[in-house]
Amino acid sequence: MTAPRQFEETVRRRLASMTEAERGEHEEALAVARLALQIGEEIRAGREAAGLSQGELASRMSVSRSMLARMEAGGDGATPAALRRAETALELPATAESTFLS
């Protein structure tokens, strides 16, 4: 199962067990997590399109390879700022979405 698909399945299970009040609080955190996954996917796609390894892109971004791996997985550091750093390191123009998310 892919990470986004697994993520959505986990969300469905958790929401089913929540009260209405808990669901409201959960929505904001869920939006942040979905954004992080999307950013991670964009960073990975850009790196792969450029034919770079994680180590090579990490070096260009001045982060560790393990930090880049976490970003690509939608974890720690998968922020709009990280997406802009990856775009700069890959010498790509800023995407409309990353500009919008500033």
pTM of model > 0.95: no
Q: What is the 3-state secondary structure (H, E, C) of 57-98?
A: HHHHHCCCHHHHHHHHCCCCCCCHHHHHHHHHHCCCCCCHHH
* pLDDT tens profile 44-65: 999 999 999 999 999 999 999 9
Q: Check: CATH 1.10.3470 for 3-40+51-100?
A: no
Whether residue 30 has pLDDT greater than 70? yes
Domain boundaries, the chain: 3-40+51-100
pLDDT tens digits for range 65-79: 999 999 999 998 999
Can you tell me whether residue 2 is helix, strand or coil?
coil
Residue with tokens 């959960």: 26
